[in-house]
Amino acid sequence: MHRREFWARFRRNRLAMTGLALVAGLFLASFAAPWLAPYDPGDIDLEAVLIPPSSAHWLGTDTLGRDVLSRIIYGSRVSLKVGFVAVGLATLIGLLVGSLAGFYGGWVDTLLMRLVDLMLCFPSFFLILAVIAMLEPSIWNIMAVIGVTSWMGVARLVRAEFLSLREREFVLAARALGASDLRLMLRHLLPNSLAPVMVSATLGVAGAILTESALSFLGLGVQPPTPSWGNILTAGKDNIEIAWWLSLFPGLAILITVMSYNLLGEGIREAIDPRLKD
């Protein structure tokens, strides 16, 4: 699909444009955090512990007197980093496995697809929990583990695309002209297989953000004092009866972010899928 046609279809989808605007706002907030945040997210003020939302602290303070708004703004950096690095790693692994399986077929396809089936047998979140519990909790370990345990969907998508494309006329013509297997995959098959991968990656960012937040909530993710939406929620859980804002506002941040990426992903899918043309 031509770029202009894609953008014209995407722009007509109001929900997709809303998702794009929200995602752009999240990017802006994360990069401009030092200027947007009214306080340093690590500043402790024991005289301002658990202050409800006010003109001084728009979203209140936590159990150490730290400004919740500032911590949520800085926490968006963690979410973006985890989302994009983890999904990038998962996409690379999925592209490699799916390309090899779909291009060569036969025993290569059988072996790699059995590996995918084996990985899918394990509930991904519990597998992540088990691995993180054996490692030192850190943002880099979280990104690596989420990426290594979430590539199977991309692999299946790429394999299916390769299976449908490898017998097309343009591929047969390139093979007849002496193109190598690597050139066929990189120049002819892979570029024509990326549309569903783009959608999967966009939706995968939302899943990675949810996973990181859940791990941080359980104490196995980003460790204090580094702000993360998940560890802010942990403080909210312990004080939910007297400090409702500690649960509400980071929860809304997670909800809006995940919803934004889902709307964006669905908008991309509808814009690139020829079966959904007006």
DSSP string, 175-228: HHTT--HHHIIIIIISGGGHHHHHHHHHHHHHHHHHHHHHHHHTTSSSPTTS--
Quick check: 60 and 68 in contact, CB under 8 A?
A: yes
Domain range enclosing 248? 69-266
For residue 1, tell me if it sits in a domain: no
Residue type at 181 in one-letter notation: D
Instruction: Determine the Cα angle at 171 with ends 169 and 174, to 5°.
Output: 110
What CATH number is associated with residue 90?
A: 1.10.3720.10
- Res 278 pLDDT > 70: no
Q: What band does 272 get if pLDDT is binned at 50, 70 and 90? A: confident
Q: What is the pTM of this model?
A: 0.88
Please, is 205 exposed, middle or buried when counting C-beta atoms within 10 Å of its C-beta (0-12, 13-18, 19+)? buried
Is-cis flag, bond preceding 196, omega within 30? no
For residue 22, tell me if it sits in a domain: no
User: pLDDT tens, 117-140?
Assistant: 998 887 778 878 887 778 777 788
Nearest to 137 by CA among 76, 213, 223: 223
For residue 84, tell me if it sits in a domain: yes
For residue 252, tell me if it sits in a domain: yes
For residue 29, tell me if it sits in a domain: no
For residue 77, tell me if it sits in a domain: yes
Q: What band does 34 get if pLDDT is binned at 50, 70 and 90? A: very high
Total tally of structural domains belonging to the chain: 1
User: Residue 155 is encoded by which pair of tokens?
Assistant: 């692999």
For residue 211, tell me if it sits in a domain: yes
- Res 275 pLDDT > 70: no
- What pLDDT is stored for residue 1 in this prediction? 54
